[in-house]
Structure 1
């Protein structure tokens, strides 16, 4: 069976790789073509072009690259038709993947189309599910409350578990080695600073996060700030933190990042799936996020929930404080961080919400990649 996959983000690349592994386990002769990153390439995918070309977010950020992205959409759809796969699977990145699906479906109406990761219709743009149903047959959902929304719009949908539920986290020994290796005393608070993985996010958030952490340092002068980052923005991170009064420990190595999460006592993080990484490691957090002005205005008009933090949504609590848009300011974020350091009840409320979140995301169950693969094969063989 030939399977065409499209991933446009590092998180989608990881999902795609796990799915490919699951499909190979169930269907050893499966063949893969499409677009992906390093993880999917390691599973045997020869990407049509670098996945990084698709890693943009926000209306304002996309505009300068619109013509190039439009050309890539047309090229990818043409390649789908030429490859004649049994199924097209888009992985997250709905603005790109669904446009490719629509163009491919127009040329081949019988093509099976699956989308992995339901768009956040529970948060904003509720009409997107209905538009998806015109081109998508089946959805692989990673959040437990999403299948009813997708089915209501006219698509079949399975909750296949969130990849964080199967992720291996570092243990106490690795955390202790991380502290010792970097000269951090056992009693000193370790605070993670997580301003995102895109250049625009880092440029907007890191200066504000830095000011918030500087204020927190007056309250906890012995704290150590650790800033996990990725190669694409590491240089930018170093430049923006060069003048901080107390420079953070910047880590890029994957093992060091895992150990840093295990060693952390607290985190100030951009909104996104990183909140689930923190939940898996039981690190209390404060969330901050802002967008380019045009994107902020439009998203603010469309947002239909009172929280965007996944731990809050999955646990059905509001344990994690968040500061979004104009509220993403240093002083209130520093105050929320101080409360988590000083108030055991606030910390415990987050820990309880995190534990519930991980249970609901499938912790202890079958690996999400294998569950997703079973769902794909059921959908491909189901009568139309």
Structure 2
């Protein structure tokens, strides 16, 4: 049988995870697949020899990109040349649009190679014109959210909803959550999970407000215990932030084995009565654990002004969007005040039934109980190739 030839690239850890699952799916469905491209440890574990270290592409923010602009531009050109030289059956780019879509554009300019982009841009939230620009050099999109395909299809691309990877992630059992409570001395006290973000800018901007909100919440709930699962890149900042917080347990992922750290994090998610979290995909992790939440976020005044004018939706919380409800309280921008956050958390501690229903619906709509997202993505890619060849 003729091998399936795939050039696949990812630029950051989340994309590497998606890529690894997709590669595994392709190998399950096709007995012989040849991979070339760029990826991290998970894609390499599935047989990819990365053309260069993926960390070269993990750059965010204008201040970080500018010093590396020439190098990144050179890598874009080199990668596009490698794709054209390989002449694969498909080029699969995963997230990292600043790199991925530029590669796809160059590839399309000099070939007819089929292009698939994994993770639809959030055109439903802001900058809807991105879909039309993508359609000039992307043939097919693999979407994580069920309401995204119409936006991509309207721009002329095939789009398949393949499920969100959160539905395939392990979740702590009730017994593991109970053991976590016992081992950490939490007993039967109510537990508040605090997640101030995974970037230093987020911890710096939200930290003082979260701290002040917690003082108010503790005044109403003196028995409350606080658990803070710190993200690795900001663990030092989180430890400094929480140094004088009472009854607070910080989970530092740098301590001990990585797998054990993730097990502890999952158990903490399941054991908590409520979570206060920075906006982001963590809301879906909390929903998977059935943990009620309050979302809070702010940005620089200039970013707040610009994005506020461009935003097309009335909520940024994915649980609210996917469930088509507005049951998760969120305090964004000017509304991100200690007083409002404290009131929101206190209210959810008292009544959270509506959130449980919305979280269950969210997981169902994201593909829970169905075929694994990586395998669904692989089927969609193969079907797209077959359709194009007919």
TM-score, normalization by structure 2: 0.90
CA 1:78 to 1:224, structure 2 compared with 1: closer, same or farther past 3 Å? farther
1:1-384 to structure 2, matched below 5 A, reads 1-57=4-60, 62=65, 65-108=68-111, 110-185=112-187, 187-252=188-253, 253-342=261-350, 344=351, 347-383=352-388
Q: Distance in 2 between matches of 1:69 and 1:211?
A: 42
In structure 2, stretches of 5+ residues that fail to align are: 254-260
Confirm or deny: 8 A CA contact 1:118 1:140 kept in the other structure.
yes
Shift of the alpha carbon at 1:37?
Answer: 2.6
CA 1:225 to 1:79, structure 2 compared with 1: closer, same or farther past 3 Å? farther
Q: Which runs of 4+ in 1 moved over 6 A?
A: none
Q: Distance in 1 between matches of 2:229 and 2:97?
A: 27
Q: Distance in 2 between matches of 1:41 and 1:289?
A: 35
Deviations 1:250-273 (A, max 9, x none): 242111111111111111112111
Shift of the alpha carbon at 1:372?
Answer: 0.5
Deviations 1:300-332 (A, max 9, x none): 221111011111111111011111223222221
Shift of the alpha carbon at 1:364?
Answer: 1.1
CA 1:171 to 1:258, structure 2 compared with 1: closer, same or farther past 3 Å? same
Classify the secondary structure of the residue corresponding to 1:47.
Answer: coil
CA 1:206 to 1:62, structure 2 compared with 1: closer, same or farther past 3 Å? farther
Shift of the alpha carbon at 1:338?
Answer: 0.7
Shift of the alpha carbon at 1:13?
Answer: 2.0
Deviations 1:57-95 (A, max 9, x none): 455665565444434333332333344332111112222
CA 1:10 to 1:292, structure 2 compared with 1: closer, same or farther past 3 Å? farther
Shift of the alpha carbon at 1:153?
Answer: 0.5
Cα RMSD over matched residues? Answer: 2.1
Q: Distance in 1 between matches of 2:319 and 2:40?
A: 27
In structure 1, stretches of 5+ residues that fail to align are: none
CA 1:90 to 1:310, structure 2 compared with 1: closer, same or farther past 3 Å? same
State the aligned residue count: 379
Confirm or deny: 8 A CA contact 2:9 2:92 kept in the other structure.
yes
CA 1:69 to 1:83, structure 2 compared with 1: closer, same or farther past 3 Å? same
Q: Distance in 2 between matches of 1:247 and 1:268?
A: 14
Shift of the alpha carbon at 1:140?
Answer: 0.7
Q: Distance in 2 between matches of 1:69 and 1:328?
A: 36
CA 1:139 to 1:167, structure 2 compared with 1: closer, same or farther past 3 Å? same
Q: Distance in 1 between matches of 2:64 and 2:343?
A: 31
Farther off after superposition, 254-263 or 80-89: 80-89
CA 1:132 to 1:224, structure 2 compared with 1: closer, same or farther past 3 Å? same
Q: Distance in 2 between matches of 1:243 and 1:54?
A: 37
Classify the secondary structure of the residue corresponding to 1:382.
Answer: helix
Confirm or deny: 8 A CA contact 1:58 1:291 kept in the other structure.
no
Shift of the alpha carbon at 1:155?
Answer: 0.3
